Amino acid sequence: MSKIGVIGGSGLYEIKGLTLKEKKRVATPFGRPSDDYRVGQIGKAEVIFLPRHGARHNIPPHMINYRANIYGFKKLGVERIISISAVGGIKKGLKPGDIVIADQVIDMTRNRKSTFYDGKEGVTHIDLTEPYCPEMRRILLKAGRAVKVSLKNGGTYLAVEGPRLETASEIKAFGLFGGDIVGMTGMPEAALARELEICYSAVCLVANYAAGISKKKLTVAEVMEAMKASTEKIKSLLKETFSTIPQERKCFCKDALKEAKI
């Protein structure tokens, strides 16, 4: 059975209505993951859910043990990960409530452990030209059409360190770099998943206009409210994805290490 990992972000600490009964605590060489993994069967898939910030939202973005989280999924046999996260909208036309299936990343984080390969087993450079699994992007977009959840096909996720929000000038600069959306958790998650040959896809919910895009002051309440308002849409998107995802992977992610080692 296909094993699919789901990482829930701000406002999504469980997939309500989708029963994931069993909890699994996983130890890793990199320390503890954010929480226990919730395991259950939905449709044809075995789904393994992890709340990125912990079930009580007590881990800020810059303190998340990204390596432990991704390694834990690998240990549980997960081949594909769907990340759900809240982001700020930079690109003109994006508005709160929109959902972007990201296709590119710009990493502006600075202080995170961002690789599993520290040189002990040789030197490894994985290819990240296409940071998100193209097959999963297609499956998600098709699922969105089937359940009438409107999705934006593609967008560049600009990852920041946080936990502070950005200045208006930073957002202006990030827009010039090519960033469409801004968030605090997208990296190194995507790169770490590729390093372990796990497919990774990002469902990014625009929770607010990024700093300076609208005149309004940003509030955390606004982010949480937007996530809550979109829970049903995300849930039906996930359900459809779980029931249509093929067993076998045909993408390049599964062979990411083949030509990556020196």
Residues that bind ligand HPA (CB under 6 A): 86-88, 160, 165-166, 182-184, 207-208, 210, 223
In angstroms, what is the minimal distance from the CB of 222 to ligand HPA? 9
Residue 69 or 109 with smaller CB distance to ligand HPA? 109
In angstroms, what is the minimal distance from the CB of 159 to ligand HPA? 9
Record the tokens describing residue 152, joined without a space: 């934006």
Residue 77 or 163 with smaller CB distance to ligand HPA? 163
In angstroms, what is the minimal distance from the CB of 199 to ligand HPA? 23
DSSP string, 131-152: -S-HHHHHHHHHHHHHHT---E
Helix (H, G, I), strand (E, B) or coil at 6: strand
Record the tokens describing residue 23, joined without a space: 């909890």
Tell how strand 152-153 and strand 181-183 pair up: unpaired
For tokens 């992890």, the residue is 50
Residue 18 or 184 with smaller CB distance to ligand HPA? 184
Residue 5 or 61 with smaller CB distance to ligand HPA? 61
For tokens 């958790």, the residue is 185
Record the tokens describing residue 244, joined without a space: 């249509």
In angstroms, what is the minimal distance from the CB of 132 to ligand HPA? 18
In the bound state, the residue with its beta carbon closest to ligand HPA is: 88
In angstroms, what is the minimal distance from the CB of 89 to ligand HPA? 8
Residue 149 or 213 with smaller CB distance to ligand HPA? 213
Contact 181, 156 (CB under 8 A): yes
In angstroms, what is the minimal distance from the CB of 66 to ligand HPA? 16
State how far the alpha carbon of 22 is from the alpha carbons of 40, 41, 84, 228, in Å: 7, 10, 21, 24
Residue 47 or 105 with smaller CB distance to ligand HPA? 105
State how far the alpha carbon of 153 is from the alpha carbons of 17, 96, 139, 145, in Å: 27, 16, 12, 11
